[in-house]
């Protein structure tokens, strides 16, 4: 039996946001968009054969731009849970992409930095993000893309303002 025409004309997942008090809300579609972009990144990592996870990609970029960092700061920079960070860093060390050294003056703390192999992956990540961004903004002109970027940066700044500093 065929569905009513109204449902057949909907775009995938559009119906989720057309329900009662969710219609017109910004948060749920933004969460969904984040998940879609994350899945697109995961797929691109596999397609390009980079062999690491989105969390590892965030760690590589954070260390490239801000490293070396202690593990607590790295967890804040990357939004990776500290317990997950430890096991992710274990893998990255085994693969020769990152190294943990004792922090001078603090035997308990470690500074994490990229190895040459880790640094060599960063340009590939930049190319990968270009591809993902092209998919995301394919039907937008430059003005629309810049407007979207500015609005997203404003939202991030507003929401991130109460977080502890990353450095």
* pLDDT tens-digit series, residues 90-128: 999 999 999 999 877 777 778 999 999 999 999 999 999
Say what the pLDDT of residue 121 is.
94
Q: Mean pLDDT in the chain?
A: 85
Cα(67)–Cα(101) distance, rounded to whole angstroms?
12
What is the average pLDDT across 57-79? 93
CATH 1.10.10.10 fits 27-135, yes or no: yes
pLDDT at 9 (0 to 100): 53
Question: Is it the case that residue 132 has pLDDT exceeding 70?
Answer: yes
Query: Which runs of consecutive H residues, i.e. helices, occur in the chain?
Result: 5-8, 27-47, 54-66, 71-78, 82-94, 116-136, 142-160
């Amino acid at each position: 039996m065929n569905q009513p025409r109204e449902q057949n004309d909907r775009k995938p997942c559009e119906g989720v946001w057309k329900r009662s008090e969710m219609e017109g809300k910004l948060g749920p579609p933004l969460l969904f968009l984040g998940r879609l972009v994350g899945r697109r990144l995961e797929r691109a990592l596999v397609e390009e054969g980079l062999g690491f996870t989105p969390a590892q990609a965030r760690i590589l970029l954070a260390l490239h731009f801000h490293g070396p960092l202690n593990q607590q700061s790295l967890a804040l920079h990357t939004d990776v849970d500290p317990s997950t960070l430890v096991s992710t860093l274990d893998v990255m060390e085994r693969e020769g992409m990152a190294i943990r050294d004792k922090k001078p003056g603090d035997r308990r703390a470690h500074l994490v930095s990229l190895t040459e192999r880790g640094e060599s992956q960063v340009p590939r990540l930049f190319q990968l993000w270009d591809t993902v961004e092209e998919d995301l903004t394919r039907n937008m002109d430059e003005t629309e893309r810049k407007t979207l970027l500015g609005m997203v940066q404003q939202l991030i700044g507003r929401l991130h303002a109460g977080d502890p500093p990353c450095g």
